[in-house]
Amino acid sequence: MRAFWRTTFSQRPRFSWRGLRDYILVLFGAFLQAFALRLFLVPAQLASGGVSGLSQVINFYTGFPIGVMIFLGNVPLFLLGWRYLGGPRFALRTAAAVLAVSFFTDFLVFFLPPEGLTGDIFLNALYGGVVSGIGYGLVYRGQGTSGGSDILARILNHWRGISISQSYLLTDAVVILLAGLSFSWGNALYALVTLYISGIAAETVMEGSNVVRTAVIITAHPEPVVREILEEMERGVTMLTGKGAYTGLERAVLYCVITRSEVAQLKTLVREADPAAFVVIGQASEVFGEGFLPLHAD
């Protein structure tokens, strides 16, 4: 423990505008999470998952402040995140997020109606998931986490490559079960919808709109295909050489990255140049380089 505190305060990060931006994202994301919790999730008795959802269940039985319970429940997970998710940089940003969520959750009680905006549980599940998911995404973009199951989800995502939305479903299953026993099974099912929407919103905020398509084209006539892509679409192409396992024949393998709106144009050009070509269209969440976003550290 002595080494923990010595490392935390001896590795003080230097001031930078990027670091300031990260903290602004973390604090604003934490505010959105608390806002969604107080305006949509708590009034509708929708467990938000993780420590916050568990805090809702405890509050239902004991009346203890949800924000205080969120803070206390995050202490052991905070130490776990320190161990596996980046040391001092992780600690400072995550501590800021946890403290902000805890504070705003209890502070907003004085300003938001206790019954929420609407009694429609579906609308609460939908908007609660979207708003909280945006908050999670902003905290992630700020190089932090919101504590709780976010830490476990980040560990799963970092170690096993499991997507953020799937990680949420895995780590929050026990909390949803407890919520079903405490509130109702109907509320628990809506809470699952909230968690799924929240995960999608978080991934969207993290990835932005830089979702593009990748194309792999196997053709016996690569020259006309390459010419059409270069001249008509003005996209770059990488030419590889492949060999069919069954036929033993060598074929050119073309690889290019295009936008979603260019998929139909690409298929038309390939069909006209080589009707027998084999085309695979995939999806890339992020693309950096010429013709797309510049490559830089986020």
pLDDT in tens, 10-26: 445 455 677 788 889 99
pLDDT at 160: 64
Task: Return mean pLDDT, the chain.
Answer: 81
What is the per-residue pLDDT for 158? 65
Q: Which token pair is 193?
A: 């919808």
pLDDT attached to residue 217: 92
- Count CA atoms within 13 Å of residue 53 on its CB side: 32
More confident residue, 121 or 195: 121
Q: What is the percentage of the chain residues whose pLDDT exceeds 90?
A: 22
> For a pLDDT cut of 70, what percent of the chain falls above it?
80
Closest by alpha carbon to 274, among 237, 222, 227? 222
The Cα angle at residue 200 between residues 197 and 203, in degrees rounded to 5? 150
* Antiparallel, parallel or unpaired: β 250-258 and 212-219: antiparallel
Confidence of residue 1 (pLDDT cuts 50, 70, 90): very low
Q: What is the pLDDT of residue 63?
A: 87
Q: What's the CA gap between 85 and 80, in Å, rounded? A: 8
Range with the poorest average pLDDT among 77-81, 107-111, 126-130, 185-189 = 77-81
Tens-place pLDDT, residues 169-183: 677 777 888 888 888
pLDDT tops 50 at residue 4: no
Q: According to the model, what pLDDT value does residue 81 have?
A: 66
Position 85 scores a pLDDT of: 60
**What's the average model confidence in pLDDT over 149-162?**
68
pLDDT of residue 159: 65
Q: Where do the domains of the chain lie, and which CATH numbers do they carry? A: 2-207 (no CATH), 212-284 (3.30.70.120)
pTM (2 decimals)? 0.70
Whole-Å CA distances, 214 to 162, 187, 211, 238, 254: 21, 40, 10, 12, 11
